[in-house]
Amino acid sequence: MHIQINTDKNISGHEALAQSVEEILNRVLARFAGQITRLEVHLSDENSASKSGVIDKRCLLEARLAGREPISVSDLAPTIEQAVSSAAHKMVSLLESELGKLGKH
């Protein structure tokens, strides 16, 4: 499973952030690693750096499965790590549903 991380201009995409995001995704989505060819992660700060908000960090996950259309989920949370974790758990539910229909999970 290849993980590609994209950030907006309000989030610095430093190595520590990338490593943290990859660790969360690898842990939560480990069971589906063989079916996901690529996982695109889009991280953004919905209110930008000039405004503060309680729940303004957004994580959009797009999973590309071999031979299928991409599927995506997103979540908002106070921190990037919380948004990634919550979106990853939503992705697990979606993958269970999608792959369950095919009898592949």
pLDDT of residue 11: 84
Within its chain, how far is the Cα of 31 from the centroid?
15
Within its chain, how far is the Cα of 34 from the centroid?
17
- Strands 57-65 vs 2-7: parallel, antiparallel or unpaired: unpaired
pLDDT of residue 60: 98
Kindly report, residue by residue over 30-87, the tens digit of the pLDDT.
Answer: 999 999 999 999 999 887 655 555 778 999 999 999 888 999 999 999 999 999 999 9
Round to whole Å and give the CA distance between 44 and 19.
17
Which of 15 and 24 is assigned the larger pLDDT?
Answer: 24
Round to whole Å and give the CA distance between 91 and 25.
10
* Residue 8 DSSP code: -
Domains, the chain, ranges and CATH? 2-102 (3.30.160.100)
